[in-house]
Chain A
Amino acid sequence: QVQTVESGGGVVQPGTSLRLSCAASGFSFSRCSMHWVRQAPGKGLEWVAVTGRDGRTQYYADSVKGRFSISRDNSQNTMYLQMDSLRTEDTAMYFCARELLGSGYLDFWGQGTLVSVSS
Chain B
Amino acid sequence: EIVLTQSPATLSLSPGERATLSCRASQSVDTSLAWYQQKPGQAPRLLIYDASTRATDIPARFSGSGSGTDFTLTITGLEPEDFAVYYCQQRRNWPPWTFGQGTEVEI
Contacts and interface: CB of A to CB of B under 8 A. Distances in A.
B59 interface: no
Contacts of B99: 44-47
Interface in B34-52: 34, 36, 38, 42-46, 49-50
A47 B4 CA distance: 13
Given A103-B49, A105-B91, A110 B96 contact: no
Interface string B9-40: 00000000000000000000000101010100
B27 to A, nearest CB: 16
Chief secondary structure at chain B's binding surface: loop
B100 interface: yes
B91 A109 contact: no
B95 A50 contact: yes
Counting chain B residues whose Cβ lies within 8 A of the other chain, the interface size class is: 20 to 34
A104 B96 CA distance: 11
Interface of A: 35, 37, 44-47, 50, 59-62, 95, 100, 103-112
Interface of B: 32, 34, 36, 38, 42-46, 49-50, 55-56, 87, 89, 91, 94-102
5 contacts: A35-B97, A37-B44, A44-B102, A106-B36, A108-B46
